[in-house]
Structure formats: structure tokens, C-alpha cells
């Protein structure tokens, strides 16, 4: 039980949260359009974007910051619903620079 004088652990500022969005798409164009749409619909700051062909798909790795974990999850769902995107998921990392 928390004492009246004890406080909860401080929450890390959103700025320290880094989210890695992993996208599997049918083409590099589909991946780039999905990333463009996602960035246009959010306050996320793009830190890094990598595209890599893997067999018949393209894997996009997008490193973002400036949003919280919930917003990153919603962004992944939005990207996953884009035409030409096979799958999208997010990994949350805290305290990285």
C-alpha cells in the first residue's frame, strides 16, 4: 500500500520513448506510401527508415519518437490496414537515444 508521502515512479517523457515499426509490404512503393500516410496522421518524429527486399516482399523498419506507446500501437494498426501492406507491428523501446 502506498503511503501518502510516497509517489508513483516518474513516467519517462514521451521524448525518451522510441518505437520501431516493422512493416512487410508487397512493394517498396506500398511501404513508402504507408509510412507517408502514418507520419502525416501523427505527431511522430521520423528517426530512421530502412527498406530491405526479402524474397517477394519489402521489409520496412521505421524508427519513431515523439509519441507514446498507445499512439504507436494505433499507428501500426493504421499502417497494417493500408493497401499493399501484409503486416505491421511495433516494438517499444525506452530510454534510448
Grid coordinates belonging to 75:
499507428
How much is the pLDDT for 78?
Answer: 95
CATH at residue 76: 3.30.70.260
Digit-coded pLDDT (tens) for 21-40: 999 999 999 999 999 999 99
pTM: 0.79
CA distances from 83 to 30, 79, 87 (A): 7, 9, 11
Domain presence at residue 55: yes
Average pLDDT for the chain: 86
Domain presence at residue 4: no
How much is the pLDDT for 3?
Answer: 54
Range of the domain at 69: 14-94
Average pLDDT over residues 36-61: 94
Sign of the CA dihedral running 84, 73, 90, 42 = positive
Domain presence at residue 28: yes
pLDDT at 14 over 70: no
Amino acid at each position: 500500500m502506498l503511503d501518502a508521502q510516497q509517489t508513483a515512479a516518474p513516467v519517462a517523457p514521451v521524448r525518451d520513448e522510441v518505437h520501431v515499426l516493422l512493416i512487410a509490404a508487397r512493394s517498396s512503393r506500398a511501404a513508402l506510401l504507408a509510412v507517408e500516410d502514418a507520419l502525416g496522421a501523427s505527431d511522430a518524429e521520423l528517426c530512421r527508415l530502412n527498406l530491405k527486399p526479402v524474397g517477394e516482399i519489402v521489409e520496412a523498419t521505421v524508427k519513431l519518437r515523439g509519441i507514446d506507446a498507445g499512439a504507436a500501437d494505433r499507428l501500426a494498426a493504421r499502417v497494417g490496414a493500408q493497401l499493399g501492406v501484409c503486416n505491421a507491428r511495433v516494438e517499444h523501446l525506452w530510454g534510448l537515444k
